[in-house]
Amino acid sequence: MPVVSELFIYPIKSLGGISVTEARVTDRGFQHDRRWMLVNAENCFLTQREFRQMALMQVALTENGLRVQHKINGAVLNIPAEPQTNETAITQIWDDASNAQFVSAEADAWFSDMLSVKCRLVYMPDSTKRIVDENYAAQKEITSFSDGYPFLVIGQSSLDDLNNRMAEPLPINRFRPNIVITGSLPYEEDSMKHFAINAINFYGVKPCARCMIPTINQDNSGIAKEPLQTLSTYRMNNNKVHFGQNLLHKGEGLIRVGDALNIHELHHNF
């Protein structure tokens, strides 16, 4: 039986993720996951696709909010849990427009300095309900500032299989999953149409098409051809490389490392 082996949250979109032993499932994904985001002067989202150095900013949860530390120069920013401004704006993520609240002038200045580009930090308030792509969301499910879905699951055996095909193995942080599982066959997560963890139901709705972010070293922001070069030889479909499964969910509560997955339904094309 598959079990949860690792859990990750990414409080600020495209910055360093946090490995946790337990995470609370909320209406829009894990608590704190991608509730903050950097935007440019046009209020459009920033990611490692354009600014690889975002990988160098490691986020941690604190009693009072977030702490961000630059992995190379050691610069630190503390971010209060509640935004310090009442200023709001309509922000853009792909084709989605979402209302967001600016956090603080201090955060704006710090990130602008670290990235050498004018940018601002925004927060998604509870009142913002960003609907998942209706081609896949049957119940008008919502998500935070994720690329499109509340969760991404990857099997450890899938990563092991990929690493066995490459000269240099890569860590799971290249793929930015929320849930990592063991006890499954390589790429078996592709077939998981419906499973439950602690009575919280998860639904596999769309294979994750990979952009270039997995080619970015999350420790030094270096870039290479792998793993996309190898993945493209056997994980290509409709001209896109797939690795991992996007999930929707129903229910709230805690899930922990070691919890079992109860498989209820599989996709028949696995």
Tens digits of residue pLDDT in 181-220: 999 999 999 999 999 999 999 999 999 999 999 999 999 9
* CA separation for the pair 83, 122 (Å, rounded): 8
**How many CB atoms are closer than 10 A to CB 74?**
7
CA angle 51, 29, 92 (to 5 degrees): 45
What pLDDT does residue 95 have?
A: 93
Q: Which domains does the chain have, with CATH numbers?
A: 3-29+132-266 (2.40.33.20), 35-126 (no CATH)
Q: What pTM was estimated for this model as a whole?
A: 0.97
Closest CA to 159 of 249, 243, 261: 243
**Three-class SS state of 144:** coil
Rounded Cα distance, 144 and 150, in Å? 7
Question: Residues for the chain: how many in total?
Answer: 270
Pull the structure tokens for residue 239. 């001209």
pLDDT digits (tens, 9 = 90+) for 94-137: 999 999 999 999 999 999 999 999 999 999 999 999 999 989 98
Output the pLDDT for position 269. 61
